[in-house]
Amino acid sequence: MTDARGSRDALASVIRLEGRMVLATLVRLTGDLGVAEDAVQDASMAALQEWPRTGVPAEPRAWLIVAAKRRAIDRLRRDRIRPQKEREATLMAVQTAPDAPEPSVVRDDQLRLVFTCCHPALAPEAQVALALRTLCGLSVGEVARALLVNEATMAKRLVRVRAKIADAGIPYRIPDEADLPERLRTVATTVFLMFNEAYASRSDGPHERRALADEAVRLGRLLVELMPGEAALEGLLATMLLQHSRRDARTDAAGELVLLADQDRSRWDRAMIAEGVDRAARAIRLSSQRPERFAVTAAIAACHAMAPDAASTDWTAILSWYDVLLTLDPSPVVALNRAAAVAEVRGPGAGLEELDRIAGLDRYPWAHGLRAELLARLGRHDEATDAARQAIALTDSPAQRRQLALRFPPVEGP
């Protein structure tokens, strides 16, 4: 039973990874995000039924593209809303498209999808939801949990955003050079959201999480090539490289999470750190007149990356950077991270005072996790246990639950 479940999970992981690429291609061919999503979902379900019997094909992406194209063709033939000439042109494009596009075409498809998700005509919350659904491949339920809304509300939001894209005629393309700066900040945030989801994922396995982070880094590199000399993009890529350099040390041999302070730093990728530090310095230089958010996050990541051990971390510099970041992004999560830095510089009592001032994190598990840590340092163990219980109850990640339970032994998961 366990082996069967493991095999099915492995298949689902392959399908989910390839499905993001296939979706980008189908959107280009059909010009319709809804049709493309439905076609890729149908193809994915077909793969889950067929591959356990026949084995994973040598080219799973090509298999999925063929299956998705067939389903898209069926849907387009039944479509009586689209004008006939448009429908015939779309059918021709889908039918004649190659089943295995060149890598450069796939790259452009991914960039087009990024810019579609980040179109300024879409509300910010709609952009985030669409990015999680399309770029990260999350289910509607997973997107809802990530954004702290119920699944029915999220399903309606995604329907509305698809309708908005269609009604407003939002083009599926990389914008003209003159329009790029307007999209820059949102695009950078979206790609980082994709990267962050790789480490915050509630359900993915380690291979898929790493692949999603790799894909975000790849998109970051493409954006730097597309818009060279932009502090936001240099900072974005630097931040991702510096954080991703720790990927091999984030879990132990049993697959359990390892906190930053406890990681074996000999397993950090030094080449990736060197590139990240260099790009962080470049981002800071490029934004010297006006601080840029991702240049600041890169500076914080560099402080961690350059410390030979946890005790050598320059927390005073990190706190100073968080002071700057909070002026650029006064969000509860940034304030939470700053509170953790305050605790390292001024002691757990001061950190707890900062934490108590932050509103909007009642349902955020790591706010309760930080509270548990700071209370434990202050010797208030019963209160720490209660806070850890709240954190465990709020997180959907089994690995995060186990990590909290290990740090607070009396705590048991629900």
The pLDDT score that the predictor gives to residue 317 is 98
What pLDDT score was predicted for residue 299? Answer: 98
Whether 90 is covered by a domain: the verdict is yes
* Residue 104, burial from CB neighbour count under 10 angstroms (0-12, 13-18, 19+): exposed
Taking the CA atoms of 91, 92, 93 and 94 in sequence, report the sign of the dihedral they define.
positive
Structure tokens at 15: 């399908």
Give the predicted TM-score (pTM) of the model: 0.78
Residue 207: per-residue pLDDT: 59
Residue 242 resides in a domain:
no
Q: 89-93, 368-372, 407-411: which range is least confident on average? A: 407-411
Map tokens 């950190």 to a residue: 351
Asked if residue 25 belongs to a domain, the reply is yes
Average pLDDT, the chain: 86
Query: Structure tokens of 22?
Result: 């296939």
- Structural domain harbouring 53: 1-100
94-141 per-position pLDDT tens digit: 887 877 777 777 678 878 888 888 888 888 788 878 887 887 777 787
pLDDT reading at 413 higher than 60:
no
Specify if 50 maps to a domain: yes
Provide DSSP, 371-388. HHHHHHHTT-HHHHHHHH
Instruction: For residue 148, count other CB atoms closer than 10 A to its CB.
Output: 9
Per-residue pLDDT at 280 exceeds 90:
yes
Q: What is the pLDDT of residue 48?
A: 87
Inside any domain, residue 364: no
Domain count, the chain: 1
Give the rounded distance of the alpha carbon of 385 from its chain centre.
Answer: 30
Answer whether residue 14 is part of any domain.
yes
Q: Is residue 18 part of a domain?
A: yes
The pLDDT, as a whole number, for residue 122 is 86
Residue 87 lies in a domain: yes
Structure confidence at residue 208 (pLDDT):
61
> What do you get for the CA distance between the two ends of the chain, in Å?
24
- Within 13 Å of residue 360, how many CA atoms lie on the same side as its CB? 10
- Rounded Cα–Cα distance for residues 177 and 137 (Å): 28
Structure tokens at 50: 């067929």
Which position has the token pair 């499905």? 19
pLDDT in tens, 171-187: 777 777 777 777 788 88
Q: What is the pLDDT of residues 198-233, one digit of tens each?
A: 776 555 556 567 777 888 898 899 889 888 899 999
